[in-house]
Amino acid sequence: MASAVSAVPAAPSEQALAHFAASFTFETDCADVHAACASGQPDFVLLDVRSPALFADGHVPGARNLPQGKIVEAKLSDYPLDTLFVVYCAGPHCNGAHRAAERLARLGRPVKLMIGGITGWLDEGFDLVSGESA
């Protein structure tokens, strides 16, 4: 008797390769964001898309606060059109980062989601900073 895992066969290797390779064009992880920020010259803008109150309580160092519902072209006008934005929210239980990524994409902006959000960041053992919007 097949388990729930094997009841549906795995995709052929070619399809799996295409799927997983494509995911890197949409996502990045906390460790890669941390390493880029630690270099002192990240090549993206990190957006915390949670509320200002949650941002002030603790956020990823170097992040700017722009709640997902306030992402409009006027708020992005200081950034060149090819600026890569990396967005995050509370964690896997929150879809705020997905909403933010959709808004940025609709505005024609390059965007990736930092998978795991704050939960993932803390799980990796990285520290948060507190204070007002950057």
d(CA 89, CA 59): 9
H/E stretch holding 119: helix 117-123
Superfamily of domain 27-123: Rhodanese-like domain (3.40.250.10)
Closest C-alpha among 49, 66, 68, 78 to residue 106:
68
* Site of tokens 């940025």: 104
Whether 133 shows a pLDDT value over 70: the answer reads: no
Average pLDDT for residues 23-36, to the nearest whole number? 98
- Residue 19 reports pLDDT greater than 90: yes
For β-strands 85-88 and 111-115, DSSP reports them as: parallel
pLDDT at 42: 96
C-alpha 47/C-alpha 53 separation (Å) is: 15
Q: What is the pLDDT of residues 40-85, one digit of tens each?
A: 999 999 999 999 999 999 999 999 999 999 999 999 999 999 999 9
Instruction: Return d(Cα 65, Cα 132) in angstroms, integer.
Output: 9
Would you kindly state where each structural domain of the chain is located, as residue ranges?
A: 27-123
* pLDDT digits 0-9 by tens, 70-128: 999 999 999 999 999 999 999 999 999 999 999 999 999 999 999 999 999 999 999 99
Confidence label for 1 from pLDDT (cuts 50, 70 and 90) = confident
